[in-house]
Amino acid sequence: MASRSATSAFSNLSFIPLDPHYTLKKIFAADDHEKKVILGSGIYRDDNSQPWVLPSIKKAEGYVDNGQNPGRYEYLPITGYAPFHHAARDLLFGPLNVSTEHFVSLQTLAGTGANSLGARFLKESLNPSAVWLSDPTWVNHHNIWSLVGVEIKTYPYWNAVNRGLDFDNLIHTLKTRATKGDVIVLHACAHNPTGVDPSKEQWKTIADVCEQKGLFPFFDCAYLGFASGDLDEDAWAVRHFLSRGTLELAVAQSFSKNMGLYGERVGAFHLSTFSAEAATKAQGHLARLQRGQISTPPSRGARIATTILATPSLYQEWLLDLQEMTSRIQGMRRLLRDNLVSLGTPGNWDHICSQIGMFSYTGLSPEQVDIIRTDHHVYVLRTGRISIAGLTTANVAHVAKAMDAAVWKSPN
């Protein structure tokens, strides 16, 4: 038997740091301060800082569990639970003005799985020279696209001076630097991490550029219903691109946030093509990639989501649950802004309320983030992004005082 002192074949590996979100959670868990607050993860909490299982989901769970048959643990098809990904498609795209035969939909392991499957498929089928990601974007976008070997380029998105969308530079960059066949990843609504979305007119201009430059739009739709509380409003950009009839497109869709099914990993990948033949061919390639990666997706979460979407009474109750979550988040935005104003914190904090969705890009510098963590036990990503869903009526004043102290101690 080989000696345990033998050199490992893996000794030459470099050390890879833990994802910053999970590093933050680890540090937070080790802090025993009674007033500690974490505003890192994109997970909804109620006003007692507790996980909130949506009432509609509780009922759907009962329906699913009570109606289980002996085959409930059987494998799903490679493409997943068909009633689910059909219902997910209809929720996202609404009434279609094109044949469903032009669409391909697969159930995935939530939004990450949909993004990953889409990246692998587009790399293989389109072989783009580059993928364009917003600066900033969800951190995992970089990881996903680097793993498939596509060159990553970024387009300007956040204007740190006015704390809003850097639209002119966004358009200029795409017009002058993007090339035909490039993939562009777009956030369908509630942009992560900034909470800043284009207006409808700006979306139209982005679609114009995609047409003119021959770019392939890949939407990441992780927060449908979470931006405005209105599903149709939040789906507007995706539906507009589709309605033009001049663009093929893909969408990664997640139900982690809007149904609170984080651990169930419920998502879908959708592809809209110009022909039924293209869709059939694409489905075969997507199924092959899915088979090689996960074989088949899990069933329970998909059945719960389908029960919500297919049962009118539960669907209406779910819409109310969505409104309750978005309303609480909007209220926390106002409370945080009002507290900062009352404290006389230097700067204009109105952007906290004008941003939408689960997150706010506060404009705090890395140095200020370090101060609120070290001095006040408030844990925030060093980008200054905070999860508004982690604020409560009990901790918002403490968070505001921490931000105020940091801004005075380390002015930008």
- Give the model's pLDDT for residue 42: 85
Q: Taking all residues of the chain, what is their mean pLDDT, rounded to a whole number?
A: 95
Inter-residue contact 49 to 390 (CB < 8 Å): yes
- Give the model's pLDDT for residue 21: 83
pLDDT digits (tens, 9 = 90+) for 167-216: 999 999 999 999 999 999 999 999 999 999 999 999 999 999 999 999 99
Element at 351 (helix H, strand E): helix 351-354
- State how far the alpha carbon of 345 is from the alpha carbons of 110, 341, 369, 383, in Å: 39, 6, 15, 19
Q: Give domain status of residue 10, yes or no.
A: no
Residues 264 and 374 both lie in one domain: no
Answer yes or no: is pLDDT of 17 > 90: no
Residue 89: left (phi > 0), alpha (psi -120 to 50), or beta? alpha
Q: Of the residues 310, 336, 359, which one is the last residue of a structural domain?
A: 310
Q: Give domain status of residue 162, yes or no.
A: yes
| Range name among 29-33, 232-236, 316-320 with the lowest pLDDT average | 29-33
Q: Give domain status of residue 8, yes or no.
A: no
Q: How many residues does the chain have?
A: 412
pLDDT digits (tens, 9 = 90+) for 63-92: 998 877 787 889 999 999 999 999 999 999
The reported pTM is 0.94
Query: Which amino acid belongs to residue 191?
Result: H
Answer yes or no: is pLDDT of 3 > 60: no
For 48, the 3-state DSSP assignment is coil
Residues 137 and 235 both lie in one domain: yes
pLDDT digits (tens, 9 = 90+) for 126-141: 999 999 999 999 999 9
How many domains, in total, are found in the chain?
2
How does residue 258 score in pLDDT terms, banded at 50, 70 and 90?
Answer: very high
Active site residues: 138, 220, 257
pLDDT, mean of residues 151-160: 97
- Give the model's pLDDT for residue 41: 83
Residues 203 and 108 both lie in one domain: yes
pLDDT, mean of residues 370-391: 95
User: CATH code at 36?
Assistant: 3.90.1150.10
Measured CA to CA, the distance from residue 219 to residue 247 in angstroms comes to 13
- Give the model's pLDDT for residue 5: 67
Answer yes or no: is pLDDT of 320 > 60: yes
Q: Which of 298, 295, 359, 357 is nearest to 325 (CA)?
A: 357
Residues 305 and 403 both lie in one domain: no
Residues 246 and 337 both lie in one domain: no
Residues 40 and 187 both lie in one domain: no
Alpha helices in 157-235 (DSSP H): 167-177, 200-213, 231-234
| Range name among 238-242, 370-374, 407-411 with the lowest pLDDT average | 407-411
Q: Of the residues 280, 310, 340, which one is the last residue of a structural domain?
A: 310
* Full domain range(s) for residue 233: 75-310
Inter-residue contact 82 to 210 (CB < 8 Å): no
Answer yes or no: is pLDDT of 97 > 90: no
Answer yes or no: is pLDDT of 2 > 80: no
Residues 297 and 377 both lie in one domain: no
Tell how strand 37-38 and strand 378-379 pair up.
parallel
Question: CA 283: distance to chain centroid?
Answer: 24
Q: Give domain status of residue 133, yes or no.
A: yes
pLDDT digits (tens, 9 = 90+) for 267-298: 999 999 999 999 999 999 999 999 999 999 99
Residues 113 and 240 both lie in one domain: yes
Residues 345 and 238 both lie in one domain: no
Residues 127 and 29 both lie in one domain: no
CB atoms within 10 A of CB 45: 18
Q: Give domain status of residue 316, yes or no.
A: no
Q: What are phi and psi of 272, to 5 degrees?
A: -105, 125
Residues 332 and 275 both lie in one domain: no
